[in-house]
């Protein structure tokens, strides 16, 4: 046996000795089972030829043009020319006459739908920039498009034919020019947005419709940089005279006058004392990272130290001051920030912390005054300061108006680097046409698509947030609710009805295992939050579900927020009311059947590693789209499958949730990380009492009384029984004892009992 094998055997023996023989056996069996499961998954993936999706890559336009006739895109066209240019496009001809160009939307604009995969459309543009034709050739939007007739999608795309977005650009807040297909809102918005942006970009890139095509000629580019070759040492008067050092001088009279002009009467009532001509502050600033200025002010040794501190492109400013007012203040001592000074270039402030500051004792320049405060402040790497562009130092002056209140004014010291320190060069560069992505971004009309969708659903978002807040309150204060069985039952019935009718059938906010697969695929390929923000309700539900897993495992969603789960429970309640017999699955068989949903999820996950579209089609084992999103308005095989599952649910409550739901399995895996156990149990639960286990709607309670958190849907029924003094044996015993105690006390208070007591005698 090799060295690694010996080490493995020693580790195994050490663990077995620590746990003991009896405890080691189940650990070993579990590890072996997990190893076999992982091996099976790897075999499946290997057999499918897993490969990561390529990011970027060549255009797929040639692939799709082979499947199309020229007339499908351009009426009257009989052939396509060779693909060329940036973005790539193929000319469309009628004989020898050029009609326009054909391109692929994904080569120009982002067309990624909620699935995380692009919606691919071949589009034709006439020479005047008008859309001549468009055809959907590939998509991965099963949540909304499966079940929506393909003709409706094609009609939506055809609605853009004839539009010219060069002549009538879309407004920032205007709606789509074509009516959205009901049931496919997000996908239709993505399609319309992609057609709009890409048509503008391609028209400009090709010079269509009278637009000027970006030239490939040369153009001079003027570059201004700091001349690092100049390092002459100059004295203080010379530096001050040519503008290398700039000054801001404020007298006491200047400050008092400024506060009077501010109109703050309380500040005016607290003027600065002293001679009006005395200096309030005499402030100087210079760009010390310029070699000549830095060497003159800091000396050779100080300049070398500063150069070692600064990284390439990083700037440093020297500030010196004297007078009654300190430009440093005391804020940097308390919190590390110099709160009285800031650098502004444009309108973006740059502030300094103590780590950016180096105190200087004296200036090296000949003729420099003695300053009590001198500091060199390095601009942090997170900020940026262009040394050859103007900037200003802003000084914050504060005036105390009592024990706590203060008034504030700002004064600016403008700084522009003298031309003698600037090197100007001209370079000739090719004016390359902008890339497709940059062109699309430059022509981006208005807000991002997900922001438009968010605004359109603000009311629904508000209602959903309130519903989530109510449910959170129920979980945190569950004892208040479950102690009242009638209130608990009515509240749960009402909340499930809200989930089914409003959240499911009205808002169509049904989570799916496809969301999980799309998310994991996006992590491996091209993750962008915009993909998942396209449907704000789904995004909020996923965020709430992810957070709730840490507290209540998967039950918050599966037991309360899943529309199909609500439909099952409501139907089963009705079945019980009319006397439909309920099937009690033996726990041993039930325990083996619930593993089926985990197997289904693993198979779907393996398929998604190979091809997301294949996994999406296999995910039709979920009846969610049929029963909730499309409200049974679908082809009969899908409807029959959904009805069969609901029929089984009439006899076995939540049949699909228990044994087949891959989404429940996907949520149960991370739910192992939950931090709290909110469900309370008695010692007698399971031994001998089996009431909770018998009444659990999903049989998540083992015969010995333990609750399986992977299967629990947090319906709180067991917690209602926990407090019920007519159903729970422990509570019944407590109630009977309390009743006997009260009966004894009331018997002692009867009139006859009072007479039978021996009378007290008083001895005088």
Q: What tens digit of pLDDT does each residue of 206-260 get?
A: 888 766 555 544 555 567 888 888 888 999 999 999 999 999 999 999 999 998 8
In this model, does residue 419 exceed pLDDT 80? yes
DSSP-H helix ranges across 500-619: 513-524, 529-533, 536-552, 555-556, 563-577, 587-593, 596-610, 612-618
The Cα-based distances of 484 to 489, 554, 706, 719 in angstroms read: 9, 25, 24, 11
- pLDDT at 56 (0 to 100): 46
Q: How far apart are CA 405 and CA 425, in angstroms?
A: 53
| 160-169, 222-231, 492-501, range with greatest mean pLDDT | 492-501
In contact, 219 and 428? CB cutoff 8 Å: yes
| 123-137, 193-207, 321-335, range with greatest mean pLDDT | 123-137
Q: How far apart are CA 104 and CA 454, in angstroms?
A: 28
- pLDDT at 370 (0 to 100): 92
At residue 190's C-alpha, the angle toward residues 188 and 192, to 5°, is: 65
What mean pLDDT do residues 139-151 have?
57
The enclosing H or E element of 218 equals strand 218-226
- pLDDT at 47 (0 to 100): 39
What is the bridge-based pairing of β-strands 348-350 and 245-251?
Answer: unpaired
pTM for the complete prediction? Answer: 0.50
In this model, does residue 3 exceed pLDDT 90? no
The enclosing H or E element of 350 equals strand 348-350
In contact, 624 and 657? CB cutoff 8 Å: no
- pLDDT at 532 (0 to 100): 63
What is the bridge-based pairing of β-strands 97-104 and 131-138?
Answer: unpaired
Helix (H, G, I), strand (E, B) or coil at 304: helix
Which percentage of the chain shows pLDDT scores above 90?
A: 25
Q: How far apart are CA 565 and CA 247, in angstroms?
A: 73
How far is C-alpha 654 from the chain's CA centre? 32
- pLDDT at 137 (0 to 100): 87
Q: How far apart are CA 89 and CA 84, in angstroms?
A: 6
What mean pLDDT do residues 266-272 have?
87
- pLDDT at 482 (0 to 100): 86
What mean pLDDT do residues 114-127 have?
80
How many Cβ atoms sit within 10 Å of the Cβ of residue 4?
8
More confident residue, 93 or 434: 93
Torsion of CA 141, 147, 148, 153, to 10 degrees: 50
User: 252, 271, 250, 249: which is closest to 260 by C-alpha?
Assistant: 271
In this model, does residue 358 exceed pLDDT 80? yes
> What are the residue ranges spanned by the domains of the chain?
61-210, 225-425, 457-722
- pLDDT at 32 (0 to 100): 52
Q: How far apart are CA 229 and CA 423, in angstroms?
A: 10
User: 318, 629, 634, 383: which is closest to 500 by C-alpha?
Assistant: 629
Tens-digit pLDDT profile for residues 694-746: 888 888 888 887 888 888 888 888 888 888 878 888 888 888 888 788 888 87
In this model, does residue 49 exceed pLDDT 50? no
In this model, does residue 55 exceed pLDDT 70? no
Tens-digit pLDDT profile for residues 380-411: 876 778 899 899 998 988 888 766 677 888 89
Helix (H, G, I), strand (E, B) or coil at 621: helix
More confident residue, 437 or 494: 494
pLDDT tier, 106 (very low <50, low <70, confident <90, very high otherwise): confident
DSSP-H helix ranges across 119-164: 142-145, 150-158
In contact, 397 and 271? CB cutoff 8 Å: no
- pLDDT at 656 (0 to 100): 93
Give the number of C-alpha atoms closer than 13 A to the C-alpha of residue 106, restricted to the C-beta side. Answer: 21
User: 139, 123, 119, 127: which is closest to 199 by C-alpha?
Assistant: 123
Report the range of poorest mean pLDDT among 130-144, 475-489, 723-737: 130-144
- pLDDT at 479 (0 to 100): 85
What mean pLDDT do residues 50-71 have?
69
Buried-exposed string 96-130: b where 16+ CB fall within 10 A, e elsewhere = eeebbbbbbbbbbbbbbbbbbbbbbbbbbbbbebb
User: 471, 537, 533: which is closest to 502 by C-alpha?
Assistant: 537
- pLDDT at 440 (0 to 100): 43
Site of tokens 């009205």: 506
- Tokens read off for 751: 């009139």
In sequence order, what DSSP letters do the residues of 231-269 get, joined into one string? Answer: -----HHHHHHTTSEEEEEEEHHHHHHHHHHHT-HHHHT
Helix (H, G, I), strand (E, B) or coil at 607: helix
Report the range of poorest mean pLDDT among 67-71, 121-125, 348-352, 698-702: 348-352
Helix (H, G, I), strand (E, B) or coil at 432: coil
In this model, does residue 437 exceed pLDDT 50? no
At residue 144's C-alpha, the angle toward residues 139 and 147, to 5°, is: 95
- pLDDT at 334 (0 to 100): 46
**Residue positions counted in the chain:** 764
The enclosing H or E element of 104 equals strand 97-104
What mean pLDDT do residues 486-495 have?
91
Angle between helices 513-524 and 596-610 (to 10 degrees): 40
Averaged pLDDT score across all residues of the chain: 78
Q: How far apart are CA 61 and CA 410, in angstroms?
A: 59
More confident residue, 48 or 360: 360
What mean pLDDT do residues 42-60 have?
46
pLDDT tier, 145 (very low <50, low <70, confident <90, very high otherwise): very low
In this model, does residue 45 exceed pLDDT 60? no
Q: How far apart are CA 405 and CA 360, in angstroms?
A: 33
DSSP-H helix ranges across 49-124: 61-65, 70-73
Tens-digit pLDDT profile for residues 613-656: 678 778 888 998 888 877 887 778 889 999 999 999 999 999 99
- pLDDT at 445 (0 to 100): 45
Q: How far apart are CA 74 and CA 79, in angstroms?
A: 10
Site of tokens 């109630």: 735
In sequence order, what DSSP letters do the residues of 631-695 get, joined into one string? Answer: TT-S-HHHHHHHHHHHHHHHHSTTHHHHHT-HHHHHHHTGGGG---------TTBTTTB-HHHHH
Q: Tell me whether the omega of the peptide bond preceding residue 87 falls within 30 degrees of 0, making it cis.
A: yes
Give the list of residues 6+ apart from residue 544 with CB closer than 8 angstroms, or none.
468, 556, 557, 561
In contact, 366 and 235? CB cutoff 8 Å: yes
In sequence order, what DSSP letters do the residues of 325-347 get, joined into one string? Answer: S-SS-SHHHHHSB-TTEEEEETT
DSSP-H helix ranges across 106-176: 142-145, 150-158
pLDDT tier, 439 (very low <50, low <70, confident <90, very high otherwise): very low
Looking at residue 714, the DSSP 8-state letter turns out to be -
Report the range of poorest mean pLDDT among 283-292, 370-379, 618-627: 618-627
In this model, does residue 357 exceed pLDDT 50? yes
- Tokens read off for 697: 């709607």
- Sheet order of strands, 373-378 included: 245-251, 279-287, 316-322, 373-378, 357-359
| 122-126, 147-151, 177-181, 605-609, range with greatest mean pLDDT | 122-126
Q: How far apart are CA 55 and CA 277, in angstroms?
A: 69
In contact, 326 and 351? CB cutoff 8 Å: no
- pLDDT at 427 (0 to 100): 54
User: 625, 702, 619, 701: which is closest to 661 by C-alpha?
Assistant: 619
- pLDDT at 739 (0 to 100): 79
- Tokens read off for 27: 């650990």
- pLDDT at 752 (0 to 100): 60
Report the range of poorest mean pLDDT among 72-76, 234-238, 383-387, 424-428: 424-428
């Amino acid at each position: 046996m090799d060295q690694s094998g010996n080490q493995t055997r020693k580790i195994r023996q050490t663990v077995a000795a620590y746990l003991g023989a009896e405890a080691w056996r189940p650990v070993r069996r579990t590890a072996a089972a997990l190893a076999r499961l992982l091996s099976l998954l790897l075999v499946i993936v290997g057999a499918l030829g897993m490969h990561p999706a390529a990011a970027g890559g060549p255009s797929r336009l040639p692939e799709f043009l082979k499947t199309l006739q020229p007339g499908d895109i351009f009426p009257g066209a009989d052939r396509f020319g060779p693909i060329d240019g940036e973005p790539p496009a193929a000319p469309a001809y009628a004989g020898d006459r050029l009609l326009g160009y054909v391109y692929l939307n994904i080569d120009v604009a982002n067309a990624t739908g909620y699935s995380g995969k692009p919606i691919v459309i071949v589009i034709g543009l006439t020479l005047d920039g008008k859309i001549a034709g468009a055809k959907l050739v590939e998509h991965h939007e099963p949540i909304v498009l499966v079940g929506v007739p393909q003709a409706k999608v094609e009609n939506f795309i055809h609605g853009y034919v004839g539009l010219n977005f060069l002549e009538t650009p879309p407004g920032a807040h205007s709606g789509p020019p074509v009516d959205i297909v009901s049931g496919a809102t997000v996908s239709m918005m993505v399609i319309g947005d992609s057609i709009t942006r890409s048509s503008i970009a391609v028209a400009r890139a090709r010079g269509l419709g009278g637009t000027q095509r970006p030239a490939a000629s040369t153009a001079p580019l003027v570059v201004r940089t700091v001349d690092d070759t100049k390092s002459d040492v100059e004295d203080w008067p010379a530096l001050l005279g040519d503008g290398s050092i700039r000054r801001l001088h404020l007298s006491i009279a200047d400050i008092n006058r400024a506060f009077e002009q501010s109109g703050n009467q309380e500040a005016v009532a607290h003027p600065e004392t002293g001679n009006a001509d005395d200096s309030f502050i005499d402030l100087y600033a210079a760009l010390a990272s310029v070699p000549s200025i830095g060497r003159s002010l800091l000396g050779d040794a100080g300049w070398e130290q500063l150069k070692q501190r600064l990284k390439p492109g990083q700037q440093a400013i020297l500030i010196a001051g004297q007078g009654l007012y300190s430009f440093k203040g005391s804020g940097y001592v308390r919190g590390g920030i110099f709160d009285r000074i800031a650098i502004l270039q444009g309108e973006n402030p740059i502030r300094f912390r103590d780590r950016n500051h180096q105190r200087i004792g004296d200036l090296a320049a000949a003729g420099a005054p003695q300053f009590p405060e001198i500091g060199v402040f390095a601009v942090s790497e997170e900020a940026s300061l262009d040394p050859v562009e103007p900037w200003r130092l802003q000084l914050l002056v504060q005036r105390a108006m009592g024990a706590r209140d203060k008034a504030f004014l700002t004064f600016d010291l403008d700084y522009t680097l003298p031309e003698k320190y600037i090197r100007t060069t001209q370079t000739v560069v090719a004016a390359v046409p902008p890339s497709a992505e940059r062109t699309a971004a430059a022509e981006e009309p208005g807000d991002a698509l997900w922001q438009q969708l968010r605004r359109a659903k603000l009311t629904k978002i508000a209602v959903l947030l309130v519903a989530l807040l109510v449910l959170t309150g129920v979980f945190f204060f569950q004892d208040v609710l479950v102690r009242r069985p009638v209130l608990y039952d009515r509240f749960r019935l009402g909340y499930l009805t809200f989930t089914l009718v409003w959240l499911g059938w009205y808002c169509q906010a049904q989570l799916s295992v496809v969301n999980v697969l799309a998310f994991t695929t996006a992590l491996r390929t091209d993750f962008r939050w915009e993909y998942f923000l396209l449907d704000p309700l789904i995004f909020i539900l996923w965020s709430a579900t992810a957070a709730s897993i840490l507290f209540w495992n998967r039950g918050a969603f599966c037991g309360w927020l899943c529309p199909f789960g609500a439909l099952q429970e409501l139907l089963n309640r009705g079945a019980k009311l009319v006397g439909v017999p309920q099937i009690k699955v033996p726990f041993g068989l039930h325990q083996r059947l619930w593993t089926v949903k985990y197997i289904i999820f693993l198979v779907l996950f393996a398929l998604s590693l190979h091809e997301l579209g294949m996994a999406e089609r296999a995910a039709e084992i979920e009846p969610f789209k049929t029963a909730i999103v499309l409200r049974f308005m679908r082809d009969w095989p899908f409807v029959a499958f959904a009805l069969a599952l609901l029929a089984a649910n009439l006899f076995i409550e939540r049949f699909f949730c228990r044994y087949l739901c891959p989404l429940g399995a996907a949520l149960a895996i991370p739910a192992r990380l939950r931090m709290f156990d909110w469900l309370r149990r008695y010692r007698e639960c399971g031994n001998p009492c089996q009431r909770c286990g018998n009444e659990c709607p999903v049989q998540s309670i083992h015969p010995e009384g333990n609750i399986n958190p992977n299967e629990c849907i947090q319906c709180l029924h067991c917690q209602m029984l926990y407090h019920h003094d007519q159903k729970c044996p422990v509570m019944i015993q407590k109630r009977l004892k309390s009743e006997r105690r009260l009966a004894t006390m009331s018997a002692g208070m009867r009139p006859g009992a009072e007479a039978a007591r021996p009378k007290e005698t008083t001895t005088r």
